[in-house]
Structure 1
Amino acid sequence: MIKFLENLVFRLRVVILATLACVTAFGLYFAFQLHMTAGFDKQLPIGHEYIQTFQQYRDQLFGSNRIIVVLEPKQGTIWNKDFFKVYKNLTDEIFFLPGVSRPTVTSLWTPNTRYREITEDGISAEDVISGKVTADTMTPKALTKIESNVIRGGFVGRLVSNDFTAAMVSAELQDYDPSTGQKLDYFDLADKLEKQIRQKYENDQYTVRIIGFAKSVGDIAAGANGVLVFFLIAFLLTALSVYLYSRSVLLTFATLFSSLTSVVWQFALLNLLGYGLDPLAILVPFLVFAIGVSHGVQQINLITAELSNGATSEEAARASFSGLLVPGTMALTTALVGFGTLYLIPVGMIRELAITASIGVALKIITNLVMLPLVVSYMTFDKDFVNRVARSREFRLKIMRWLGKVAEPRNAVVVLVVSFTLFGYAAWESRNRHVGALHAGAPELREDSRYNVDSRDVASKFALGLNQLTVVVETPPDACVDYETLKFLDQFSWHMENTPGVSLVLSLPFAVKSSSAGWNEGNLKWQAIPRNKDALAQAVASVPGQSAIMNQECTLLPHLIYLKDAKATTIATVVASVKAFRAAHNMKGVNIRLASGNMGVQAAVNEEISQSELPMMIWVYVVIIALVTLTYRDWRAVIACCLPLTFATFFGYWFMEVLQIGLTVATLPVMVLAVGIGVDYAFYIYNRIQFHLAEGRNITECFQMALLETGMATFFTAITLAIGVSTWAFSALKFQADMGLLLTFMFLVNMVMAITVLPALAVILDMIFPRRVPVRHRKSIMAH
């Protein structure tokens, strides 16, 4: 079958290459039209309990997609006329930004900011800044009054910082721009926040701090532009390495061109399918390129071996096509399934990433296994090149002969003892790995980035930050004037306020107690929920900001829980606390539901990643086991190919734990890719082991022969790719730096596993379970 395909493909090579050239030219046009896209809804896990709650009450509850802008004088406090004039202009500017839900814009200047005052007649409500006061006519007396209103109204820590050195403007965003009806362009909004807000209002007198999803995704996109520099560096390093290995400009060009061609096709297909490139998926094309280089080097390795043995270009290309079609297709199929399993995670952004990566890997079967040998078949190489290649290969073979000693029985036992010991320790240590962000602020950005500096400053000065978890409490009608219901929810509020990681809880029971004291001359003895229904109704009626903590029918009494940071551990602790209270306490007609708010969304994403990781890995291994079984019909091959992958995976988890890298949307694809790269190495090596077993050699000799044929290509590929991606560690984006470090480690550890643990397992298994039937040549599988 393989020979038939070889003859057919090479007989039609002119037609095939011409067709691929036309497809590439066509693809270039559409590839250059691909652009980055981002959307808040793409972060939402489809069907998750928390997201169902979020979607059901999306129009009634806010806090999931908010921007916060803080104006901070560099000297002194905010209590001066000049500050309030700038603050007023800033509020107006935010009001007219695209995508802003105008009724939700909140600052000291907006009419939805009111305070309650205890008087002889009870409680009166007024605007914090009277409608009679303007920024131009503000007097010292008016400023004193505003300061008093802010303090008495409880806005310290909410709209005004605890030390009076900053004031906040907050607003909710809609995923669609209400002024145009079009989907909100988050990159455009982030650009406007920077140019129309920060650049306009930040000067030698004031500092402007901006946080929120829109700003963070804009900063990530800005940092992603710098990714191109690292792509270029990695590409040049890869090109140099391939040249040093092949000693040929033509072979280097063919390898890189084939890998880049599939990336062009990938971009074109994404554009035609209506997808963009998410900033968090910006590294996927290079990962696909890296996979292509890995397979390309294997092709070049076999081609140069044939050339050094006197074969012509076409004969060498044919040998490469036939010898690597099966193991290459198996490896790429596994990588394809690996990326495809990411689709199991029901998060739009991750599913787009899965589609992006799967398309790229699928195209490698054409560009690397078919197009590359065909291109090489038209090249010519002189005798000097053949002599250089022969000398270079002899040097490499000396190294491989020394490494081949690992397949000697005594050494194999030592390798397995050491590797199993390390695996046991890695498995034990990796049990503590975290899912989600491990650091405060935006985990995709470095700790010293402007966004994270702003985030920490806002968190330190305000109790109400961006990290809001909204717990939805469904109640019977008129529950807000039912003492027993409010008493029950007061217990829940108190329970959550005393949960580690919570900075503030806003709820109707807490507000009612303060209002009740207000109706009784502020006496703290009356700071309790009134048992009398009329008194309770009076207290509820005067609660400030009612719309945030109750609906008109009193059937929805949400609890707004503000977290100290957005670390995965903090979110998990607070969510677990809600579930613990819900399990231990029950009241008929009251339903406590998780969750809305941006921390509710993040909790759902973390839980989906945690729950999907194991099934995803199981599917990848099922495919690997199936492919190895169908190809080699030998259970020993299954163990020899799969166990080193398992070792490498757990070593990767251990590495993440040591470097405090969480399992996130960015790092999860790396772990999947690691399995794919590891399979590449295993398939190429074991394919040659089986070939030589069929010639009657013992397992030790078979591995040593396989190592001579494919070992240096495996070793070289891993080193080259590791050097290339290691440069990402210097990226301005933390998630890219984390991916670079993790990929570097995984490329190397998979290579080590393939050339040490795989042969050690194969040797020991053959010693313990000798083969009763000799391995037979199966030309459809083990063609040279």
Structure 2
Amino acid sequence: MNGIVRRLEALLFGHRAAVLVAIGVLTAVMAYFALQLRMDAGFEKQMPIGHEYIQTFRKYSGDLFGANRLTVVVKPRQGTIWTRPALTRLYDVTQAVLFLPNIDRLGVQSLWTPNSFVNEITEEGFRAEPLIDGTISAPSLTDDVIAKIRRSTSDGGFIGTLVSRDQTSAMITAELDEYDRAGNKLDYVAYNRLLEEKLRSKFEDKDFEIQIIGFAKQVGDIADGASSVLVFCAIALVLTALAVFWYCHSVRFTVLPILCSLTSLVWQFGTLRLLGFGLDPLAVLVPFLVFAIGVSHGVQQINYITRELAHGRTAMQAARHSFTGLLVPGTLALVTAFVSFVTLVIVPIPMVRELAITASIGVAYKIVTNLVMLPMLASWFNVSKAYAERALARHEARSRWLRTLAAVARPRNALIATVLTVLLLGAAMFESRDRVVGTVAPGAPELAADARFNRDALSISKNYDIGLDWLTVVFEAAPESCENVAIGAYQDDFAWAMQDVPGVISINGFSSLMRTYNLGYNEGNPKMSAVPIDSGNYAALATEIGRMRGYMRKDCSMTAVHLFLADHKATTIAGVIRAVEQFRHANPSKDVKIRLASGNAGVLAAINDEVERSERPMLLYVYVTIMILVLLAYRDVRAVIACCLPLTVATFVGYWFMKELEIGLTVATLPVMVLAVGIGVDYAFYIYNRLHAHMAEGQNIVQAMENALLEVGMATIFTAITLAIGVSTWAFSALKFQADMGKLLAFMFLVNLVMAMTALPALAVVLERLFPRRSAVRASKLMSH
């Protein structure tokens, strides 16, 4: 292996100019394509492939309420909705929604649409009439007409659904099709601007407020907030540059690692465009995560080069020594980070798989830009003797206080540190055992609590009974089952059982409508508020219910119950899912099969389920990869334990941190935990590589570890603190998920630093004492100077 690295060094540095020109040309080409990259969000690509809930969702998508809904509320700033100006404004907004692109017009519902009707009990029996007759227009509204509409709305049970409980606002709901008839995908970012232009800007004024929520609005607001992501990333970049300059006192060595990391970023964006991908708003932070990995490796290179310069090497010699000394540990670390991101593809969610490809491409390019391009560019530098002397003085000054930290490698201290590490692992595993997979707060978790979307969502949830989040439970039966009264009775029992489940605020379904219709057909007799047991009457009522969308198929082979939830927090959804499964298990039926689940809560439940199911196998694959790479590099089981145990501790401490700060494990936070492993591996490989180099020179484990920490400890500490400070500025972002990511990343950078500088050397020393080597370390294993 050492010979291969030497030959590669000779080849590349023997043709420096040609290699760098080729890199420059590639960068220019990729920059052209990178400039064409656009935001690309999608509701469909959030759905787990093959999940039971998503299969139910797709099978009955034409019969049930769509999960990709748009909700618009018209709210007078003073007074109630029962005025001519307010109802006129509601009519105008309803018409505007009807003519929005990608709207399923049959699915639009408000007081003004013909699918909103009241079931009236008259002397002749049961009669269904629209809330607002088709002959009535906005100009023809009179006090008597408005009074009749108000009465019909109340009689029809629409107070709390289409009209707020306090009757100060009215709702319009619509369902979005992600693809138009030509098969063109909806641009959610552009659609959000259209909603603002056609609805909010046009109809909101000093007299009326327009509230808009839904997936399209949420993703659009996140994309708009992505501009702040760029601002904070730029701030982090500037802080990183200033810190690197303080570290090396050279503008050239400051620009070099940042330039190389940005080069791989350009390649990454260009490749995504060539592959036909866009950049999902929820994955917009991933490129910076990859950039952070590049900076980490870049600083190690600068540390190595300046150390070589301080010992009298020329720029060419220092660069070549850096290349050969760090190529293997750097490649091993980047391969591990690459595998870490690639393992995200086991999560069967298209958005996560796209994110995995995005991140792994960026990491793969780091091998070229940070391990090859950087030292080759540095070899062209003309470094003065004075700079080399100052570099040596700084190195000696830093080494003095690092010696105190390196004392952790002494046997007694190492034993204490190892015991503390094991105790910390136990505490972290215990405290993180009930961490939440999914969102932990109501509203859009990606946006700040005071964001307009979340303010609108909170206002609507407070004033309407149906809730913004619903779980649809499907009841399957044989075809042509409209005379099977057992279906309605079974579903009625289910609805009663679900009423007291925490988080369920209301229930509406086939059986509840059956009760309402039976009551109406029997002159309002309270005793008749029941599911009929007569098959003829049952079938007649089913025909009436079949006129409405969202509750059944025409042949009664599918009927549905909608459970409207207080919020979409993971704990709420999980509790309701458990209750449904318990009922299904405890009350089997030969006529009916209960299927989970549709509605937006059903989609979220499927996402949470897949994230939780995939997380442990994914981490297992990552750790197996690390173990294999460490074994290949060092042929030593002790190295595997010393490198992997600190990473494990850092991972569980990170989960503990997430639990305490109420950050759920979601498709947005999952890459951060993967990155934490990647950063920790960087530190581990660089430290262990120097440890083996010194042991190969004949030093004992304590001396070798102290020298390794003195050589790469400063770069490790500097990198972690610099990156932590940079991302900590994200805490001030308007996007909550960026603020949470900033806190989590800063914490994970520092935890991995502490583990690398204390637990790793302590474990290495303790294991060496417990299991002494039978033979000396061979230098040929190391590919290092």
1:754 matched residue in structure 2: 756
Candidates 773, 776, 779, aligned match of 1:777: 779
1:24 matched residue in structure 2: 27
- Counterparts of 1:63 and 1:730, CA distance in 2: 35
Candidates 443, 446, 463, aligned match of 2:445: 443
Q: How does 1:105-254 map to 2 (within 5 A)?
A: 105-178=108-181, 181-254=183-256
Q: By how many angstroms is 1:782 displaced? A: 3.3
Query: Are 2:111 and 2:131, in contact at CA under 8 Å, matched by a contact in 1?
Result: yes
Q: By how many angstroms is 1:493 displaced? A: 1.4
- Counterparts of 1:658 and 1:131, CA distance in 2: 56
1:407 matched residue in structure 2: 409
Q: By how many angstroms is 1:181 displaced? A: 4.3
Aligned-residue identity in percent? 54
Query: Are 2:349 and 2:607, in contact at CA under 8 Å, matched by a contact in 1?
Result: yes
- Counterparts of 1:349 and 1:378, CA distance in 2: 43
Normalised by the size of structure 2, how large is the TM-score?
0.98
- Counterparts of 2:474 and 2:445, CA distance in 1: 27
- Counterparts of 1:139 and 1:343, CA distance in 2: 61
- 1:605 alignment partner, SS class: helix
Query: Are 1:75 and 1:205, in contact at CA under 8 Å, matched by a contact in 2?
Result: yes
Query: Are 1:220 and 1:733, in contact at CA under 8 Å, matched by a contact in 2?
Result: yes
Q: How does 1:648-727 map to 2 (within 5 A)?
A: 648-727=650-729
2:339 matched residue in structure 1: 337
Letter in 1 for 2:152: N
Q: By how many angstroms is 1:636 displaced? A: 0.5
2:740 matched residue in structure 1: 738
Q: How does 1:335-374 map to 2 (within 5 A)?
A: 335-374=337-376
Letter in 2 for 1:108: L
- Counterparts of 1:417 and 1:629, CA distance in 2: 25
Q: By how many angstroms is 1:38 displaced? A: 0.6
- Counterparts of 1:233 and 1:73, CA distance in 2: 42
Letter in 1 for 2:36: Q
Q: By how many angstroms is 1:545 displaced? A: 5.8
Q: By how many angstroms is 1:454 displaced? A: 0.7
Q: By how many angstroms is 1:744 displaced? A: 0.2
- Counterparts of 1:123 and 1:775, CA distance in 2: 92
Query: Are 1:115 and 1:544, in contact at CA under 8 Å, matched by a contact in 2?
Result: no
- Counterparts of 1:537 and 1:633, CA distance in 2: 75
Q: What runs of 5+ residues in structure 1 fail to find an aligned partner? A: none
1:100 matched residue in structure 2: 103
Q: How does 1:518-597 map to 2 (within 5 A)?
A: 518-543=520-545, 546-597=548-599
1:476 matched residue in structure 2: 478
- 2:471 alignment partner, SS class: strand
1:299 matched residue in structure 2: 301
1:272 matched residue in structure 2: 274
Show CA shifts across 1:328-353 (max 9, x none): 00000000000000111010111111
Q: By how many angstroms is 1:482 displaced? A: 2.1
Q: By how many angstroms is 1:480 displaced? A: 3.6
Query: Are 2:545 and 2:551, in contact at CA under 8 Å, matched by a contact in 1?
Result: no
Query: Are 2:63 and 2:551, in contact at CA under 8 Å, matched by a contact in 1?
Result: no
554-563 vs 235-244, which moves further: 554-563
1:78 matched residue in structure 2: 81
- Counterparts of 2:451 and 2:240, CA distance in 1: 30
Query: Are 1:116 and 1:542, in contact at CA under 8 Å, matched by a contact in 2?
Result: no
Query: Are 1:123 and 1:542, in contact at CA under 8 Å, matched by a contact in 2?
Result: no
Query: Are 1:479 and 1:486, in contact at CA under 8 Å, matched by a contact in 2?
Result: no
540-549 vs 611-620, which moves further: 540-549
478-487 vs 149-158, which moves further: 478-487
2:283 matched residue in structure 1: 281
Q: By how many angstroms is 1:355 displaced? A: 0.3
Show CA shifts across 1:614-672 (max 9, x none): 00000000100000001100110000000000000011011001101100111110000
Letter in 2 for 1:598: N
Query: Are 2:63 and 2:552, in contact at CA under 8 Å, matched by a contact in 1?
Result: no
Query: Are 1:480 and 1:486, in contact at CA under 8 Å, matched by a contact in 2?
Result: no
1:466 matched residue in structure 2: 468
Query: Are 1:530 and 1:536, in contact at CA under 8 Å, matched by a contact in 2?
Result: yes
- Counterparts of 1:432 and 1:555, CA distance in 2: 40
1:9 matched residue in structure 2: 12
539-548 vs 433-442, which moves further: 539-548
- Counterparts of 2:736 and 2:161, CA distance in 1: 30
- Counterparts of 1:662 and 1:497, CA distance in 2: 27
Number of equivalences: 782
Query: Are 1:72 and 1:207, in contact at CA under 8 Å, matched by a contact in 2?
Result: yes
- 1:506 alignment partner, SS class: strand
Normalised by the size of structure 1, how large is the TM-score?
0.98
- Counterparts of 1:695 and 1:313, CA distance in 2: 25
- Counterparts of 2:415 and 2:183, CA distance in 1: 68
- Counterparts of 1:504 and 1:476, CA distance in 2: 28
Q: By how many angstroms is 1:516 displaced? A: 1.2
Letter in 2 for 1:783: S
618-627 vs 761-770, which moves further: 761-770
> Is residue 314 of structure 2 the alignment partner of residue 312 of structure 1?
yes
1:421 matched residue in structure 2: 423
Q: By how many angstroms is 1:393 displaced? A: 1.1
- Counterparts of 2:620 and 2:198, CA distance in 1: 50
Q: By how many angstroms is 1:420 displaced? A: 1.8
Q: By how many angstroms is 1:58 displaced? A: 1.8
Show CA shifts across 1:267-302 (max 9, x none): 000000000000011111111111001000000001
- Counterparts of 1:547 and 1:44, CA distance in 2: 23
Show CA shifts across 1:492-515 (max 9, x none): 111122211111211111111121
Q: By how many angstroms is 1:384 displaced? A: 2.4
Query: Are 1:503 and 1:564, in contact at CA under 8 Å, matched by a contact in 2?
Result: yes
- Counterparts of 1:530 and 1:103, CA distance in 2: 30
Query: Are 2:467 and 2:505, in contact at CA under 8 Å, matched by a contact in 1?
Result: no
Q: What runs of 5+ residues in structure 2 fail to find an aligned partner? A: none
Query: Are 1:320 and 1:373, in contact at CA under 8 Å, matched by a contact in 2?
Result: yes
- Counterparts of 1:627 and 1:723, CA distance in 2: 31
- Counterparts of 1:160 and 1:349, CA distance in 2: 36
CA 1:543 to 1:152, structure 2 compared with 1: closer, same or farther past 3 Å? farther
Letter in 2 for 1:765: L
Question: Could you say what the CA RMSD is over the residues aligned between the two structures, in angstroms?
Answer: 1.1
Letter in 2 for 1:51: I
Q: By how many angstroms is 1:419 displaced? A: 2.0
Show CA shifts across 1:738-782 (max 9, x none): 111000000011011011000100111111111111111115x33
Letter in 2 for 1:782: M
Q: By how many angstroms is 1:544 displaced? A: 8.2
CA 1:655 to 1:280, structure 2 compared with 1: closer, same or farther past 3 Å? same
- Counterparts of 1:448 and 1:739, CA distance in 2: 18
Q: By how many angstroms is 1:531 displaced? A: 1.6
Q: By how many angstroms is 1:62 displaced? A: 2.1
Candidates 85, 89, 94, aligned match of 1:91: 94
